[in-house]
Structure 1
């Protein structure tokens, strides 16, 4: 029997003879602290298999949380499958959740479906697996500001991330073209900014998403753009800008808008108020505050901004960007959170920020040498809005690059030539799906897969075995098929 073809590939896998078959009478033995993993296993397998999997003291499928286990870290696990039983062990709850996803992949692909699959024998191959991730940050950024997506889609996206052992959903909630985050004391943000391209979320919807994701080992990291990419906010509250008396529309074009926040106290207080609400909804230790693509033309022409630069002893209005980010970053630190931001070149933010270099991977090395912790997000290897190929059949996307499957698989967040000290400051990597040219949920999934599978391999396993990955992906495609992930787009799902 060939070795199981799993994505991402486990750190260590040994095939053993035989099969274990789940029956309607199969029971679980659940140790204290392992109940969330047991609930997830029932939730994921129930719709297709109908297996009740009740807990019994003598259950043949053992889920064991043992803090004394060494070498597995926060998300590692050990999985032993024999003909008479299964033992899934971890030192931390996150490891058990990861092991549940491996069990899910080991079952027949019909187990991934949402409808009953009568007649299928629910057997898994006997194996010995020890599995730990290379990086603690393994994520995907989804832009819901340009194109609103309902919470039902976000939950499905979380499920797809979790299947691949990705543990961060970075939600880009605000931009020039839309504001999706509700703020109770600033209702016009969603009343005005939530209108284009779909709508806005309620607080209850976002809190529910956070809980749903946590049950699957995924943290939702919110992003609120500032001081640029704020045209939707200024359409709601124009007094926050640099031109008193001017009114704005939510921007109806793509690209970089030169309308930015002012640097007066009211604008800073606005940001703090928004972030206080964000922190109340999202318990993530990281809060992303944008920071990229911020033209400073308005600050150069604003008397108030020029006066602020002089009063703060800055070299000029262009230095207000770092000043602004430092003020807001300190607010997050004071609240016990870690500020996270895009970085243009690795040198533009205080070292206590965790940064995402997006322009060039070399900027990541610049950033770690300055003392930053880094999540690598270089556009040439992680941007999924770029086309997957040069084929005429490939739908048009963001202009300028082609990011194919092998390119994503070749991404190395901490290259071998980096020193151990530099590599230690790399938290991981994530893919980005900006949605200017992604009008439908079907299109979003088409662009995400199978490239997300390659990213999962990079950040979990860390190996760059391209032939081996291709072989495993061929089988893994049948899992994606069972989940309804499209291999191609329907004629109605094209960019506009």
Structure 2
């Protein structure tokens, strides 16, 4: 089945509210209600299986409706049992694609039924926009998923699942919603779209869709569509990321990159080295346990999102000194700005057998635990400080010619362990472009995952990486850094000049570098429109563009914690998500985007409880825009 059929979009722009914008869609004006007894079935390999039925006992899988082949008997026989009293955070002991599809079908129908989203802000003040709740109703009573490749009923395979075909076709006519897809991940994306087609009625008498018939053909522009969150500089709770994953799923993002440790704290539990978190976390109750991480990763899988970890090395590692001080050079030097990008200073020694053993222990503890849920691991590699190695007795040099071969050996170790554990390494751009290291992707062997390079500066750096034969993910700090524009987090010296010992090898007395208005390095604030208009492949040669796998929008947490996480992320992350899903945007799309994003925001606030900033004031939404 090919899902690249082109449709003529016949809907009025202001009514096409699906986010992110589908490739092609057409809508009508008839109304259908969702049948309280709606049934969802999977059609595959000549067989039909019931995925969800309101009247099934505790939502249990009821077996085959129709058996046509031995293959289908084996496949459908592996569907997992569901009980209706599971908590939202509870995950199964053994994942499989068949389990995920059943879970997604059940959760989609349940979410539509329990939604409280009444879209009054999207219509004229006091207008009668809802269907008559007392009039005779016509229902959507069946959801049929026709999937080309049957869901695997055995253990979950992250590579084949997350690299699967995400394209889908969704058609709703009369009483049936039909999904056509090639792969389970495509069916999940279709179900995520289906959920946005329905609204709650203000009488609480059911959910309806006002756009029948509906026809959508859709597929993503880029494979890697991610959000990166730093949980080390300020404390976060696992439930913060659970809530974030739910919102990400509503935008069809599919990668959550957890920057898990940094110089300020090490909150991640490594059981083979328990002192790392017990001494490195800000408080004992702020440790992320093994169960916390696996719960977040499993929740991501249920939403079609690969959750992977970054432990940045060899820089950004000062927090290790709280438990293993002999591994860190230049720890907490008074003149931190000489030895680090921000306080506190300290990074792993570069020519130490003890460091090599430590790194191996950490990775061989962590990676086998993350591998069941993801195919990725980020090895870090940014902002390595040369001066710190003057205080590293294993090196005692800041000469790049001395440090480069030592960095090569260090990174080789990280990459090799990652690949041996069956994961694809990701590395920051500096290791390739500034240090000229050789990465595995330049000398790939068959079936060996290539190292993916993450570029955070600009398109010129993206093109440089591509010209060296490496694949890229982007995230320009001038467009997609979410922490920009809030001002610097550092203070000037109280006396206006540096104290004794600052800067390094002086007696002090240097004027403070900070002055009014205390702007941060990447100001101004990047509003959602600015993020929406980012063209990641601008000025990149057309013959190289295929080497771009996608991108990430990033939040560094110097001035963010659990209390303001939602408002720092949303709705700006959703704007970036449409770029990643639908492709590069242009300013003619902004008016339509404002309305669709505004509706998406109201739905997420109402149904997910995400405390995000408004897209526009209510008057603008009701009047279909505020133009200048």
**What does 1:189-200 correspond to in 2, within 5 Å?**
189-196=276-283, 199-200=286-287
**In the alignment, which of 316, 323, 339 is matched to residue 402 of structure 2?**
316
SS in 1 for 2:543: helix
Q: Tell me whether 1:293 sits opposite 2:383 in the alignment.
A: yes
Report the Cα offset of residue 476 of structure 1: 2.1
Q: Which whole-Å deviations, capped at 9, do the CAs of 1:391-449 have from their partners, x for residues lacking one?
A: xxxxx99554121212211222323x4234311111101111111101333x1110111
The answer to whether the Cα contact below 8 Å between 1:226 and 1:291 also exists between their aligned partners in 2 is yes
- Residue 578 of structure 2 is aligned to residue 457 of structure 1: yes
Partner of 2:147: 65
Deviation at 1:484, TM superposition (A): 2.8
Offset at 1:168?
0.4
CA RMSD of aligned residues (A): 3.1
Change (3 A) 1:12 1:247: closer
Query: Does residue 421 in structure 1 map to residue 421 in structure 2?
Result: no
SS at match of 1:23: strand
Give the aligned partner of residue 10 of structure 1.
22
Partner of 2:171: 80
| Cα distance, 1:62 vs structure 2 | 0.4
Question: What is the TM-score with the length of structure 1 in the denominator?
Answer: 0.84
Inter-CA distance 256–290: structure 2 relative to 1 (3 Å threshold): farther
Q: Aligned with 2:35: secondary structure?
A: coil
Match of 1:265 in 2: 353
Cα distance in 1, alignment partners of residues 263 and 412 from structure 2 = 22
Is 1:25 aligned to residue 116 of structure 2? no
Shift of 1:36: 2.6
Match in the other structure for 1:339: 425
In the alignment, which residue of structure 1 is the partner of 2:318? 231
Q: Is the 8 A contact 2:486 2:523 kept in 1?
A: no
Structure 1 residues 73 and 331 mapped into 2: Cα distance closer, same or farther (>3 Å)?
closer
From 113, 122, 129, give the equivalent of 1:49.
Answer: 113
How far has the Cα of 1:337 moved from its partner?
A: 2.0
State the Cα deviation string for residues 320-355 of structure 1 (Å, max 9, x = none).
334422332122223332221112385134342311
Q: Which residue matches 1:411?
A: 534
SS, match of residue 355 in structure 1: strand
Distance 1:149 1:335, change over 3 A: same
1:84 Cα shift?
A: 1.6
Is residue 282 from structure 1 mapped to residue 370 from structure 2 by the alignment?
Answer: yes
Contact 1:385 1:447 in 2 (8 A): yes
CA distance in 2, matches of 1:274, 1:258: 21
Contact 1:413 1:426 in 2 (8 A): no
Aligned-pair CA distance for 1:303? 3.7
3-state SS of the aligned residue for 1:141? strand
Contact 1:19 1:82 in 2 (8 A): no
Shift of 1:387: 3.2
In structure 2, the residue corresponding to 1:365 is in which secondary structure?
Answer: helix
Deviation larger for 471-480 or 151-160 = 471-480
**In the alignment, is the contact (CA less than 8 A) between 2:201 and 2:208 conserved in 1?**
no
Instruction: Indicate conservation of the 8 Å contact 2:368/2:421, yes or no.
Output: no
Which of 371, 375, 378 is the matching residue for 2:469?
371
Secondary structure of the corresponding residue to residue 170 of structure 1: strand
Deviation at 1:73, TM superposition (A): 6.0
Give, in whole Å, the separation in 2 of the partners of 1:280 and 1:109.
43
Moved more, 350-359 or 377-386: 350-359
**CA apart distance, 1:466:** 2.4
Contact 2:266 / 2:277 at 8 angstroms: preserved in 1? yes
Superposed CA offset, 1:294-339 (max 9, x none): 11223234342259x99xxx82135533442233212222333222
Q: CA deviation at 1:78?
A: 0.8
Q: Secondary structure at the match of 2:611?
A: coil
| Aligned equivalents of 1:59, 1:121: Cα separation in 2 | 12
Q: Is the 8 A contact 1:147 1:198 kept in 2?
A: no
The aligned counterpart of 1:329 is 415
Which residue of 411, 423, 430 maps to 2:552?
430
Alignment: residue pair count: 459
Distance of 1:247 and 1:418 partners within structure 2: 41
Residue in structure 2 matched with residue 54 of structure 1 by the alignment: none
Partners of 1:31 and 1:64 within 8 A in 2:
yes
CA distance, structure 1, for counterparts of residue 239 and residue 419 of structure 2: 32
CA distance in 1, matches of 2:429, 2:390: 22
- What secondary structure is seen at the aligned counterpart in 1 of 2:30? strand
Q: Identify unmatched segments of 5+ residues in structure 1.
A: 52-57, 112-116, 390-395, 490-496
> Are 1:486 and 2:611 an aligned pair?
yes
Compute the displacement of 1:256 (Å): 5.1
| Cα shift at 1:110 | 7.6
Equivalent residue runs for 1:212-231 within 5 Å: 212-231=299-318
Q: Are 1:21 and 1:122, in contact at CA under 8 Å, matched by a contact in 2? A: yes
Alignment CA distance shift 1:460-1:197 (3 Å): farther
Following superposition, the deviation at residue 255 of structure 1 comes to: 1.9
Of 154, 176, 182, 1:91 maps to 182
Measured in 2, the distance between the counterparts of 1:421 and 1:473 equals 33
1:105 is matched with 196
